[in-house]
Every structure is written in C-alpha cells, then in structure tokens.
A = this chain, B = another copy of it.
C-alpha cells in the first residue's frame, strides 16, 4: 500500500459550488458582494517584473506589522497564512501529539473534522442543541478546540462569558476562528490578550472582499505563533497577496462601509424572511440561517431556487435539515432573491 491508510477512507472537504454566468445569483459561499478597496488596484498596478521573478518576503514583515498595529499586538504575535484555512491546518500539526484530541462544535465549519482526520487526530464533536446553543459540559477534554465565532452556518455568536468559561473548562489551546467577526458586535481580542492558550484566526475573504487572494492570519502568544512559524511552508504567501492585503487593510474605511451596507441589508433580509414565515436566527455574520416555514421542505426549496440560478446553501442533517443559509448580497441582489422566492411561494 503506497497511500496512507487513513486517507483511503477520508472524505475531502467539499467547497460550495462556484457557478458562473451573468444570470446567476450567487448567495452560497459567503463572499462579499461589494468590491474590495480601490487601493488594491493601485497595488496591482505597482507590480513589476522584478517583484514577480524574486521570492517574496517569507514572513511578510510589512503586512504583519500593519496587522499588529491594527490589533494592538506585537508583530511577532502575527503569522500570515495562505487563507485562514492554512492557519487552521497548521494548528492541528503544532498543538496536538499524533493521535491527540481535537474538539469542535457541530454544526460548525465542516473543514475541522477533515483537518483533524488528515492529521490523524481523535475527533471530539460537541453537538449544539436544537436552538443551536451549546450546553457546555463541565470538562472539555481536548488538546485543541476550534471555535468559529460567530459560528457558521448558524450565524450565532457566543458571549464573551461563554468563551471564558470554555477556556476554564478546556485545558488545551483554543483557536477562535473569527472569519466573520467584522460583521459582529464584538470580537475576542481581549480574551486573547489575557491568556497564553488562545489564538485568533482572521481572513481577508469576507469583510475585505478578497476571497480570491487567499490571505488570512493567526494572532496569539509568542510561543504558539513561533511553533506555527517553524512548520509553515517557507514561502507560504505570495507577493501579490501580501501587497493586496496590505492595501486593503490600510483602507479600513472601505471595509467598514461595505460591512455597514451588509449589516443593513441583513436587518432587512431578516425582516422580509420573517414576514414570509421563516424563523431567522439573529445573525452576527454576512449570512442568515433561516428555518423554512412549516410544511415546506428546505431541500426542495433549495433545489427549486437553484433551478432558477439562485444559489444558496443547504446542509442536510438532523439539526440543519430544515434550514437554509443565505449569504447577504447587495440590496439589488436581495430584491432579486425575494422576487424569485415569492414567485415560488
């Protein structure tokens, strides 16, 4: 046998569909409907042949410095990664012995079990209740806990008190995956600053409208960040992504303005769905998770919308099977969404 035994049965992570075409309404992968900062095009315009032919700065000093300044941490507390997924994968290799225990909620980001299986870790799943809240056990006995905060696909945020409680009950390292946090009311940076066991991961894919460039970062205490540096690929991020991310980060105004627009649309979408009988969870993200009205089948509705080129996301399963996840687009896109939906109802 030449391929590792544990891979034979492994089911790879399945990304959301990427349909293309002018008529497609794409509300399925939580991309940002608004363009990134115009400054990123200035950065692209400044790319020279010399920039391309040389190796990039392996640790992206300039970007790390800007990130550190933004969050009030030191530059050596920052690791930039090839999308935040790379940071998560690195954690499974750095913070558990082989065969160790990785914990996460279900439902949550479906990449966690895949990463844990690839690293041959024991997967410890903590199921949410029917209202997608967590009745946290007295002991959360894992080496590493992945917590998407706010969570996906539920859109719900845990309180700071709950997270502090988790930290008391779990002896391992807590990775707070804040991919959606710019759309939320609060972040967990202060929890990170008070602990030597908390890491926060962030992404440029959502609030900065840069899913295409694959850039994320991990913040944390020096000894943990240092361990991640040791095992990352030497040149894990490319020079274009570094420059574009830097330009976007320095233009907080554009990011915040896009976030404000999406939060506004989120309120309207929640109201409109509620009017139509959906139960919408109070979202802290750039999507809503909504239970379809009684008598309707979520999967059928998902498929009917897809037949009309309206792409949203459906997650089969006991807890999630009556819900649909809808990315918040522009006002025009959401008008189109409701027109199609009303046509079906």
Contacts and interface: CB of A to CB of B under 8 A. Distances in A.
A250 to B, nearest CB: 16
Majority SS of interface residues in chain A?
A: loop
A197 B51 CA distance: 37
A241 interface: yes
A278 interface: no
A33 to B, nearest CB: 8
A53 B94 contact: no
A212 B55 contact: yes
A82 B236 contact: yes
Looking at A33, A209, A234, A239, the one whose CB has the most chain B CB atoms below 10 A away is A234
Interface stretch (A8-16, A287-295, A316-324): A8-16
A253 interface: no
Given A49-B36, A231-B10, A212 B3 contact: no
Chain A interface category by residue count: 35 or more
A151 interface: no
A15 B234 contact: yes
Contacts of A236: 82, 214
A309 to B, nearest CB: 16
Interface stretch (A123-131, A222-230, A262-270): A222-230
Interface stretch (A71-79, A83-91, A157-165): A83-91
A89 to B, nearest CB: 6
Question: Which 5 pairs from chain A and chain B are nearest by CB?
Answer: A35-B49, A212-B239, A53-B209, A214-B238, A3-B227
Interface of A: 2-5, 7, 10, 12-13, 15-16, 18, 26, 29, 31-36, 40-41, 44, 47, 49-58, 82-83, 85-86, 89, 93-98, 111, 118, 120, 143, 172-173, 197, 205, 209-214, 223-224, 227, 229-231, 233-241, 244
